[in-house]
Structure formats: structure tokens, C-alpha cells
Amino acid sequence: MLVRIVKLTFKSENIASFERIFENTKEGIRNFEGCSFLALYRDVDNQNVFYTQSHWSNEQALQAYRNSEFFKTVWAKTKQLFDAKPEAYSMTPIKTVN
């Protein structure tokens, strides 16, 4: 499994637009082949900062998503709203404690 965390910083006036984009596309992202989990978080200290967390079966599944027309369309709309360059991290879990 591959975990992908993306930090997204938006201009204050664009937050509602981002939330609409996410609401309208979350099912498409989550149901993309190889994706088993999707979550959106908001930073406690900076309300302009959001994080997405997604779980992918492997790196190839993530890359297939990133190369899809669906992603390209969503990303084109989203990147116009940023106030800072997004940061993305991919990692593999070592240990989980529930």
C-alpha cells in the first residue's frame, strides 16, 4: 500500500470554491481503480491549509490516477485557487496501531 498526503494552501477567498470541487469529485477520486481510502483534513492553526490523504494499492495505481484525464481536469481547476505551492508526500506504512 502507498499512502499519499498532499498539503494544499488556498487563498481565503478560494476556500469555498475548493470545497465545492472536492465535494463534486471525491467519489470519482475514491472510486478510481487502486484507491482504497480518501480523506480531507483542515489545519487547526491555519484555516487556509488543507490536507488530502489517499491510500493506493501501489505506485502504479497512483501514477495511473495522476496521468488520467479526470485528475488533469480536477487539478487544472484546483491549482488556480492556491496561495502557495502544494506539497506532496508518498509513503509506505510500517506499523499501524488501532
pTM for the complete prediction? 0.94
Cell of 63: 501514477
- pLDDT at residue 93, rounded to an integer: 94
* Total structural domains within the chain: 1
Asked if residues 77 and 8 have their Cβ atoms less than 8 Å apart, the reply is no
Domain that holds residue 36: 2-91
Question: Among candidates 49, 44, 30, 46, which has minimal Cα distance to 87?
Answer: 49
* pLDDT (tens place) for every residue of the chain, 98 residues total: 999 999 999 999 999 999 999 999 999 999 999 999 999 999 999 999 999 999 999 999 999 999 999 999 999 999 999 999 999 999 999 998 98
Asked whether residue 67 is assigned to any structural domain, the reply reads yes
Q: Is residue 28 part of a domain?
A: yes
Quickly list H helices, 1-98.
15-30, 59-66, 69-78
Does residue 97 belong to any structural domain of this protein? no
- CATH number assigned to the domain comprising residue 48: 3.30.70.100
